[in-house]
A and B are shown apart, each in its own frame.
Chain A
């Protein structure tokens, strides 16, 4: 199909009415639909609730309006078309499915309800970067305030910056590997033509976009004052910005459930012929583990917020002690998700590092089995440790000890993975490209984050550390130092496949190492401030902490500059980087065995797998070393 003539001849005839509606729908109609839905429902709610709730209680009105937003937005993008067509019995034929996958649509397909997993992956990358940019900007504002001794913002604004920063970053980090890389790469890595449920894939992406608006709007409705954990009973007393938080989380949770199901089914049911579990790449395991945790646990987060919404709008009292509720109930429900969530975040990042280092060290994983056992161990224990966030809440003080033990136990599988990483490096011949260099940084940060976690999981020590900047520094080593940096390695590594161009590693390295040094300065100083006793989430603190805060702020600006340089490298490489060959790293996993740019259905013929993807020479590292010495350029 090279000539235009044959192409036109091959163009299928689409049923008129379906395509007419699809053609018209894109991100603009989505926003229009959302705004109309919001306004209509808002007015309707004001009229309906006027008698009872006109004064003061705008919670119900905003709730109804946000429902209008969500429904209008999803209708506007075309999310319900498929549902109604299914109801009516008009299933898609192959040509319609290809149209929905964005065939022959050019750039336009990125602004639509497109089902091709590669388009969804790119959309996720952009959306995630927007979320991280929002969170990052707020971080700069927060650090600016903490580094000086005068008031830049009023306390409420400051608090809402902290809360919004926290929740935006947590969500951004959940998405950053699984969204872009999970969607773009995983189906190809397992040798499938698309995800198991392409339309659900588009649904999960556009739900994230829909969720963002309530988050942004919350800033103008009193903000999220009470941290990303929005503890009760503060949250119930907070201004209606809290409703924005609730909708952000509820919509995002639905998106997470949908995309988790999609990835899990793809991984379990759609692996290429011959890809047994022992031949499945470790990155696929880590994504499966991550979404496998998100699927059962995220509903806890969603329900914690739905019950909070019910307290606000229906005047129930789940979390209001005066009327029979309990704030511990909130904390339990929240942290039953909240802890597994940290593994949801770092597992894909760590899995990507394992996958990548093999390629740059040209030897098999030190022990594939141990890595799998480590991942499985984390999954098995993740749901049993949540109360380490509640040691100091007064809830059942004696129950702290079993949770201390389970928390310390979960360091074991995590350490197994670190050991596999170090073991793989051992006697490996490094090909010093940017993704590999980032992995060294990740291992460093992960060890610091993990060790300080053990301090925190010790009940007596946590009496001192709880609620302090030490906790903040701990989880930034994990979330940012491990999760985000790991994601950066993944993005640089898979960039050639996703965009068809090589990542500018010179500029990228400058950006990354600037951010890395800034990171150490910021958070080492923050450990110090925390250990001195500086509480987290405070607006102005004692002179005692000023010096470490100033150091942290300087470091934070360095991170900011570094990240901007990295972003510049990303954008310029995307626009005008060196054109990449189909397998520039000489990797053996399936996604690299298909042409770049990747054809619509990924593989001309579905691959059959005959070995694991880590057969670099022979498994004996000494042999690999000898081979590499004679080869200079790594060869697959």
Chain B
């Protein structure tokens, strides 16, 4: 192929195209993959809200565990109060991701301004932070004051927790890769685009986890006289 190096424009080692072309292509690719992941978040929201509003068999909230939500003595009405046992964990994790995401963007900014050092340390901190958050997410799911068997709410929260957990792990891997690649010089002020792509991904992860955390506002089902299915064995 006639790779005519115009001036000292950086070229991809694999195809010989200018890096800017590859970067544009990869950005579109990442955005489209995010589109697919957005659908996943939509399904989780839809499942939560659908079961919430139906309250089938009066089994939205865990049976006999309504008291859980009264430990603070607050009267729960929509949009509800944030409850210590379960919900604030979601918010804490979302907040953690938000901070890490901003830190990562900071690294990308300084990379674009010409220094790799900040990116290396930012990516390292973000990696460790994301690993920490996935452990926290795991512990949260394990310490829910109910079992996955305890109805719609319990089901939805369990799966949302697992989904967050897997997203966090994947993001930690990506951040770690950026750390290593920047360290060895593959990502550099002249060629920062992969760091930007991971920053874009982290932004979406933050948004998704905030959206899912917002679901916990919808606690008590408005359906007070739902369809009953009896108690035939399962």
Contact = CB atoms under 8 A, between A and B. Distances in A.
A151 to B, nearest CB: 31
Interface in B1-56: 1-2, 13-16, 24-25, 28-29, 32-33, 35-40, 43-44, 46-47, 50-51, 54-56
Contacts of B176: 87
B206 interface: no
Interface string A393-422: 000000000000000000000000000000
Interface residues of A, number: 53
B26 to A, nearest CB: 8
Contact of B35 (A197, A295, A326): A295
Interface stretch (A23-31, A124-132, A296-304): A296-304
A345 B162 CA distance: 32
A601 B2 CA distance: 12
Interface stretch (B77-85, B145-153, B209-217): B145-153
Contact of A333 (B47, B59, B60, B180): B47
A265 B51 contact: no
Contact of A257 (B24, B36, B162, B234): B36
A315 B60 contact: no
A322 B59 CA distance: 8
Of B152, B162, B227, chain A has the most CB atoms within 10 Å of the CB of: B152
Given A197-B29, A329-B47, A324 B39 contact: no
Contacts of B232: 322
Contact of A318 (B35, B47, B57, B227): B47
Interface string A247-285: 000000000010011101100111000000000000000
Interface in A66-97: 86-89, 91-94, 96-97
Contacts of A261: 29, 32-33, 36
B47 A324 contact: no
Interface in B56-86: 56-60
Main secondary structure of the interface of A (DSSP, over half): helix
Given A316-B148, A322-B57, A324-B151, A299 B29 contact: no
A516 to B, nearest CB: 37
Contact of B155 (A303, A317, A332): A317
Contacts of B60: 324
Contacts, number: 160
A447 interface: no
B186 interface: yes
A262 B30 CA distance: 10
Contacts of B227: 321
A450 B214 CA distance: 43
Nearest to A87: B177
A317 B186 contact: no
Given A257-B33, A265-B28, A323-B151, A297 B39 contact: yes
Given A87-B177, A257-B33, A303 B56 contact: no
Given A89-B184, A316-B158, A326 B177 contact: no
A317 B149 contact: yes
B112 interface: no
Of A297, A318, A605, chain B has the most CB atoms within 10 Å of the CB of: A318
A265 B59 CA distance: 45
Contacts of B33: 257, 261
Contacts of B181: 86-87, 89
A317 B43 contact: no
Contacts of B156: 318
Contacts of A310: 148, 155, 158-159, 162
A303 B229 contact: no
Of B24, B43, B59, B173, chain A has the most CB atoms within 10 Å of the CB of: B43
Contacts of A533: none
A134 interface: no
Given A265-B25, A265-B29, A299-B43, A325 B152 contact: yes
B153 A320 contact: no
B140 to A, nearest CB: 15
B51 A329 contact: yes
A153 B227 CA distance: 39
A379 B71 CA distance: 50
A314 interface: yes
Given A196-B25, A321-B229, A326 B39 contact: no
Contacts of A197: 29
Interface in A322-342: 322-326, 328-329, 332-333
A299 B40 contact: yes
B149 to A, nearest CB: 5
Given A295-B32, A310-B159, A318 B14 contact: no
Nearest to B227: A321
A303 B180 contact: no
A159 B133 CA distance: 46
A268 B54 CA distance: 43
A257 B54 CA distance: 32
Nearest to B173: A87
Given A322-B231, A324-B152, A303 B40 contact: yes
B56 A268 contact: no
A309 to B, nearest CB: 10
Nearest to B176: A87
Interface in B193-234: 227, 229-232, 234
Contacts of B39: 296-300, 303
Nearest to B194: A86
Nearest to A311: B155
Given A91-B13, A324-B60, A268 B50 contact: no
Contacts of A86: 177, 181
B191 to A, nearest CB: 11
Interface string B116-149: 0000000000000000000000000000000111
A196 B59 contact: no
A598 interface: no
A39 interface: no
Interface in A204-227: none
B44 to A, nearest CB: 7
A268 B24 CA distance: 11
A307 interface: yes
A257 B36 CA distance: 7
B154 interface: yes
Of A89, A91, A323, chain B has the most CB atoms within 10 Å of the CB of: A323
B180 A316 contact: no
A295 B230 CA distance: 40
Nearest to B38: A296
B14 A92 contact: yes
A307 B159 contact: yes
Contacts of B16: 94
B155 A325 contact: yes
A262 B29 CA distance: 7
Given A299-B37, A315-B149, A323-B151, A333 B43 contact: yes
Of A97, A304, A310, A324, chain B has the most CB atoms within 10 Å of the CB of: A324
A48 to B, nearest CB: 16
Contacts of A314: 148, 158-159
13 contacts: A87-B173, A262-B29, A296-B35, A296-B36, A297-B39, A298-B36, A299-B36, A315-B147, A318-B156, A318-B159, A321-B57, A323-B151, A332-B50
* A-B residue pairs, 3 tightest by C-beta: A324-B59, A316-B155, A324-B152
Given A91-B186, A94-B15, A97-B15, 7 more contacts: A89-B184, A94-B13, A306-B159, A307-B159, A314-B158, A318-B51, A324-B57
Interface of A: 86-89, 91-94, 96-97, 193, 196-197, 257, 260-262, 264-265, 268-270, 295-300, 302-304, 306-307, 310-311, 314-318, 320-326, 328-329, 332-333, 601, 605
Interface of B: 1-2, 13-16, 24-25, 28-29, 32-33, 35-40, 43-44, 46-47, 50-51, 54-60, 147-156, 158-159, 162, 173, 176-177, 180-181, 183-186, 227, 229-232, 234
